[in-house]
Amino acid sequence: MLASPTFEGHSMTHPVSIVLVHGAFVDGSGWQAVHAQLSNEDHEVLIVQNPTITLEGDVAATEQAIAAARYPVILVGHSYGGAVVTEAGDNPKVKAIVYVAAFVPDAGESVAALNEAPAEAGEVKAPVLPPENGYLVVDPAQFPQAFAADVDPAITRFMAAAQVPWWLAAATTPVTRVGWKTKPSCYLVAKADRMVPPSAQRRMAQRAGAAVSEIDSSHAAMLSHPREVAGFITAAARAIA
């Protein structure tokens, strides 16, 4: 069972809005089961569709969702979406940031720079192909096992074919605003991740001072363990709302 994140000095007294931000190579539909679970708990839930062309564009799309939210915001980012929510998390309306198997950059760092850190023994890194016309994709043959080994292969084969190419600028642009320095944060480590090494996840979470829980999941925890991921987000909402 996941440990519930706790933030000292906060208790639930008011409703919150939850904004879900996807990562590279996929779109917001990956949050569908988590969205359903959170909505069934009477949360307002908004889904961001990142173009993944530039970091600035993805932050702008997230800022639009934050502006549309009716209540104070719990901002949730998966994978590359962690860089987006780090920057957008500086928005005054955001009360906490939740990272799910995500990159957590500091000021002046990009996702590409963070990804240069070597994996530890027994870990692997994302099988991303060399850029073509400025875009990155995961090797389609390796995508199912790398991204979501614990998800129905029929789904992951489709995801591999339907990848959203990731523009190099989004991967290499450094973050300038760092929400986790002023907002409480929590991090869900995917222990069986083959895209972002679990050791890197733990280091980034520790540096950010995040409340950390771990789950025996692939990179796509929101697909393979939607109930647990939704529960983790709900616990964060209850802790800081």
CATH number reported for the structural domain that contains residue 34 in this entry: 3.40.50.1820
pTM of the model: 0.94
**Which residue segment(s) compose the domain that 21 sits in?**
17-114+165-240
Which range among 13-17, 31-35, 187-191 shows the weakest confidence by mean pLDDT?
Answer: 13-17
Domain contains 27:
yes
- List, for residues 47-83, the tens digit of each pLDDT value: 999 999 999 999 999 999 999 999 999 999 999 999 9
Residue ranges in the chain assigned as alpha helix (H): 32-40, 55-68, 81-88, 111-115, 143-148, 153-161, 168-172, 198-208, 221-224, 226-240
Q: Is residue 136 part of a domain?
A: no
- Would 133 be classed as within a structural domain? no
Please name which of 79, 108, 77 lies closest in space to residue 185, comparing C-alpha atoms.
77
More confident residue, 12 or 108: 108
Q: CA 74, CA 196: separation in Å to the nearest integer?
A: 23
Number of structural domains the chain divides into? 1
Q: Cα dihedral angle (123, 128, 130, 135), rounded to 10 degrees?
A: -150
CA distance 33 to 231: 12
Q: Tell me the pLDDT of the chain averaged across its residues.
A: 94
Residue 84 in domain: yes
The model's confidence at residue 2, banded by pLDDT at 50, 70 and 90, is low
For 5, 160, 165, 184, the CA distances from 99, given in Å and listed in that order, are: 12, 23, 22, 11
Residue 67 lies in a domain: yes
Residue with structure tokens 């590279």? 24
Instruction: State residue 3's pLDDT score.
Output: 56
The b/e string for 168-197 (b: 16+ C-beta within 10 A; e otherwise) is eebbebbbeebbbeebbbbbbbbeebbbbb
Question: Is residue 5 situated within a structural domain?
Answer: no
Give the Cα separation of 140 and 14 in Å (integer).
44
> What is the distance between the alpha carbons of residues 57 and 170, in angstroms, rounded to a whole number?
9
Amino acid at 158: F
Instruction: Report yes or no: 4 and 13 within 8 Å, Cβ to Cβ.
Output: no
Comparing 112 with 119, the larger pLDDT belongs to 112
Sequence letter at residue 133 = N
Q: Output the CA–CA distances (angstroms, integers) from residue 5 to 129, 187, 222, in the order listed.
A: 36, 9, 17
